[in-house]
Chains A and B, each alone.
Chain A
Amino acid sequence: MAEINNNGSSKISVKTPKIKFTKLFINGEFVDSVSGRTFETIDPRTEEVIANIAEGDKEDVDLAVNAARFAFDHGPWPRFSGSERGKIMMKFVDLVLENLEELAALDAIDAGKVFEHGKARDVPFAASILRYYAGAADKIHGKTMKMANQLQGYTLYEPIGVVGHIIPWNFPISMFFFKASPAMAAGCTMVIKPAEQSPLSALFCAHLAKLAGVPDGVINVVTGFGTTAGAAISSHMDIDCVSFTGSTEVGRLVMQAAATSNLKSVSLELGGKSPLIIFDDVDVDSIVNLALLGSFANKGEFCVCSSRIFVQEGIYEEFITKFAKGAKEITVGDPFDPKTRQGPQVDKQQYEKVLSYIEHGKRQGATLLTGGKPCGKKGYYIEPTIFTNVADDMLIATDEIFGPVISVFKFKTIEEAIVRANSTRYGLAAGIATNDLNIANTVSRSLRAGIVWINCYLVFDPDAPYGGYKGSGFGREFGMEGLYKYLQVKSVITPIHNSPWL
């Protein structure tokens, strides 16, 4: 059984940062909520309160939208050239990197994320997204058209206006920049509502935005709850589009509210039950490492988790033996301990949900290969857990668990693997492990998923569009595609006379 390295003691929290920003950020100022209410944010390592954060509600969202609307309709931001916006965004990048440790530490104590991973991966990657879009801001092209009549036409890709971003708790800093960066590059202004579980880093980023020279009102942050602040955003009559990453259930509410209010456009990045399909021509040892990464990174709290691993029968026994061994070796512990590879689940609700799925798995008759229990006396720590002999229709095979719980399945043929991998309402990511070119091509074409990783997993890149098929949502982040939701196409047409060509 995996043990917590420090028995939940807070000795390691010598690196715990002082919480500097706890208020809403509206129009360039940190302000209390109109109601004066606050809410607590909890440290999942210790179950203790870190800080009291201003709790924004509808009236605070209204103020934020007013500020964003003014900043868009009259302020400098959309009127800057793309390169001027890019310059300010690059300064923002510098500030993020200068404050790398503090940002990573905030997400560690707020969301249980491993500090070393934050410093080495999450924060630098977030900065690279911001840098990518800083460089894209002056390359947003429309087109001149090939009209069938004596007309000159061109398209302009205009900023859509005031954007609402509702971001989740699993990658707080990353998600902040995944959404803010393209919206900024496009010339939009925005209201960001971080998850109530993880408000701290967004507020710190807002502070850095101001230092970077982002004009007042362009970025506003309203911390609070989904049913109040989040709902106020989705249903706001003066927000032009909303971008949401989170659960399918809440995504549904966001889209319904958008429809019921002002028919704002919506982009949704929802859950997944992504398959990793391992063919028997691979080197098992390296694939085991890949599977461990895909399954247990970020304590299983990510939408592209390879939660269904299909292993071809020829290597099945060897794979599950090595996979289980690798899982047992994952050190679960305090996020600041450099030995830790898996921190606590983000909060009590998630922790209990994951444990109840584990119980389901056992009750429905799957074989618990390793793990299955909480660990440590304090904090929301759960052992990396693997089930085998899982039937495709068991809950642990159909539902997104969002925790360190993986189901492994045996398969015979390619056709079978494709059908079973696609038999899910989700369609976010998929992995294929094979050295055979034809298998790689056929299977990558056949899997209904927005991102297919061949002999790799969790490969994200600023230039690689990412998003869902089917119930995993629609819209793409990253790449130039990531800009589209923040732009609107305007066609401008005028007659031409005596043109030498058509």
Chain B
Amino acid sequence: MSSPKHEIKFTKLFINGEFVDSLSGNTFETIDPATEQVLATVAEGRKEDVDLAVKAAREAFDTGPWPRLSGEARRKILLKFADLIDENADELATLEVIDGGKLFGPVRYFEVPISSETFRYFAGAADKIRGATLKMSSNIQAYTLREPIGVVGHIIPWNGPAYMFATKVAPALAAGCTMVVKPAEQTPLTVLFFAHLSKLAGVPDGVINVVNGFGNTAGAAVSSHMDIDAVTFTGSTEVGRAVMHAAASSNLKPVSLELGGKSPFIVFDDADIDKAAELAILGNLTNKGEMCVAGSRVFVQEGVHDVFVKKLKVMVKGWATGDPFDLATRHGPQNNKQQYEKVLSCIERGKKEGATLVTGGKPFGTKGYYIEPTLFTNVTDDMSIAKDEIFGPVISVLKFKTVDEVIKRANATKYGLASGVMTKNIDTANTVSRSIRAGAVWVNCFIALDRDAPHGGYKMSGFGREQGLEALEHYLQVKTVATPIYDSPWL
């Protein structure tokens, strides 16, 4: 089940429009999680490389063309970038598969097209970034300007590099910012290819810089950099904490954090049970469960509980592993060894805590970080598998009686990223969607992400929104300009 040997074209840092070695000459290996083989040796950036990247980004912002282009001109380049993504979709998808254990079908036909659509969405927003004229209470004319904030640091995770790159870079570019992107060390390859495409698209040198490396060196250098104006981070709560702390200790740069989740997926008695089962599977097993929005607590109302679990069991068992390049394959390996071990230990704890293991629960295969899709039932709220984010192919089913009870239990988590509600009843849908403390409520659907739908956390799932025009806010600053007016015929 090994992937075809693929030529990795870009393995160096991308600074000021050039692929360069790290200053130290250090490199690190990136592994294919399906085979545990080394895919490539990639340049390892550290603080001094981040400094060079920031210098290039600062020059590009303070004196270069990018912020000085009109929104319309930036739009043209962003549209070209989108086209190049589409033209190179096979390559991008292949890199995602071999670097991250993802499946070719979903990446090639969903994630990569969504990435190019994200570029197109923000391309269309670039010339519509408005401020407001103000309604002053005295003889003053005033307006707000929404200005690009400057040099931005993006720290992106390993579960969907292409999607994450587009989600963060497209709005930052549209706003007129320049940036340093630090991909996760587990998945350095896709972003380097994007960097190559950015140059072809006509993004000026220094606007996008990519420094691969490790979190506690390159990542920390970004969060604590005195000349980065804002940082956006998607990843674990623990590292998000370190990013925010470093931002505070350095130059008090604003941060946006998109962290973990333990999202409730609530199935009421009147739900379309087949659809609910299908969505519970998609919401937990897509991308081998490595999704921050996984509906990892499936609350099922007692009237339909047993029927639902029966359907789930069949579907979980049928969730097929296979060649990642085969479009029929559903399941792939976990992204890296550390994650693989973590998921297995969560499963062990679930068993020890007394949950019923209905199917799965074991690693499989002789090579690669494969874990069987796993279903636990009779899970109670106090179990670790109900509280902690597992980030793997593990579904936990909990039973509930009433609406009020499930709202309380759904909200009893430090997280608040997403939620799903399966019901046909309008009042249930409205009450529950108002009451769940989460950034997204998906009613009779799940993982309904869209370019125009803001996405982000409540509580310890973070703050800030991505997608939608709201995403531009991280990359803009509001300046108020006021001046007296004389003899105005109105106020």
Contacts and interface: CB of A to CB of B under 8 A. Distances in A.
Interface of A: 128, 145-149, 151, 153, 155-156, 240-241, 248, 251-252, 254-256, 258-260, 262-263, 265, 268, 270, 425, 440, 444-445, 449-456, 459, 461-467, 469-471, 473-476, 479, 481, 488-495
20 contacts: A146-B452, A147-B453, A148-B117, A151-B450, A241-B463, A259-B241, A260-B241, A263-B237, A268-B252, A451-B481, A454-B483, A461-B138, A463-B137, A464-B136, A464-B480, A465-B478, A469-B479, A489-B470, A491-B440, A492-B441
A153 B453 CA distance: 7
Contact of B450 (A148, A467, A494): A148
A248 B252 contact: yes
Interface string B213-229: 00000000000000001
A147 B117 CA distance: 12
Given A252-B249, A255-B248, A461-B134, A491 B441 contact: yes
Contacts of A156: 434
Contacts of A451: 479-482
Which has the most chain B C-beta neighbours within 10 Å: A454, A462, A493?
Answer: A493
A452 B482 contact: yes
Interface of A is mostly: mixed
A322 to B, nearest CB: 21
A490 B440 contact: yes
Closest 4 CB pairs of A and B: A255-B248, A259-B244, A454-B483, A494-B443
A465 B144 CA distance: 8
A471 B145 contact: no
Contacts of A258: 244, 248
Nearest to B143: A464
Given A461-B136, A476-B478, 7 more contacts: A148-B117, A153-B452, A259-B245, A259-B247, A465-B144, A470-B229, A491-B441
Nearest to A475: B254
Nearest to B131: A465
Contacts of A459: 138, 140, 142, 482
Interface in B442-464: 442-445, 448, 450-456, 458-460, 462-463
Nearest to B226: A425
Contact of B137 (A425, A461, A489): A461
Contact of B134 (A251, A455, A479): A479
A464 B470 CA distance: 20
Given A461-B142, A462-B137, A469-B477, A491 B443 contact: no
Contact of A145 (B145, B443, B450, B477): B450
Nearest to A261: B241
A465 B142 CA distance: 10
Contacts of B414: 262
B292 to A, nearest CB: 14
Contact of A453 (B247, B433, B459, B483): B483
Contacts of A149: 448, 450
Contacts of B481: 444, 451-452, 454
B259 interface: yes
A263 B484 contact: no
Interface string B233-254: 0000100111111011101101
Contacts of B462: 263
Contacts of B134: 461, 463-464, 479
Interface of B: 117, 134-138, 140, 142, 144-145, 229, 237, 240-245, 247-249, 251-252, 254, 257, 259, 414, 429, 433-434, 438-445, 448, 450-456, 458-460, 462-463, 465, 468, 470, 477-484
A270 B481 CA distance: 19
A145 B468 contact: yes
A263 B240 contact: yes
B439 A488 contact: yes
A474 B254 contact: yes
A451 B482 CA distance: 8
A252 B452 contact: no
B263 to A, nearest CB: 13
Which has the most chain B C-beta neighbours within 10 Å: A444, A464, A491, A494?
Answer: A491
Contacts of B138: 459, 461
Contact of A494 (B136, B245, B444, B482): B444
Given A148-B451, A156-B434, A265-B463, A456 B482 contact: yes
Contacts of A453: 482-483
Contacts of B440: 490-493
Contacts of A476: 478
A153 B252 CA distance: 35
B455 to A, nearest CB: 7
Contacts of A445: 145
Contacts of A462: 137
A255 B246 CA distance: 10
A151 B429 CA distance: 15
A255 B247 contact: yes
B441 A493 contact: yes
Nearest to B133: A463
B453 A463 contact: no
B460 A148 contact: no
Which has the most chain B C-beta neighbours within 10 Å: A252, A259, A454, A495?
Answer: A259
Nearest to A467: B478
B479 A452 contact: yes
Which has the most chain B C-beta neighbours within 10 Å: A240, A254, A479?
Answer: A479
A466 B480 CA distance: 7
A147 B442 CA distance: 14
B170 to A, nearest CB: 15
Contacts of B455: 491
Nearest to B455: A491
A434 to B, nearest CB: 10
A189 B117 CA distance: 40
A451 B244 CA distance: 26
Contacts of B445: 151, 493-495
Given A148-B117, A489-B454, A492-B441, A450 B479 contact: yes
A493 B438 contact: no
A493 B450 contact: yes
Contacts of A155: 453-454, 468, 470
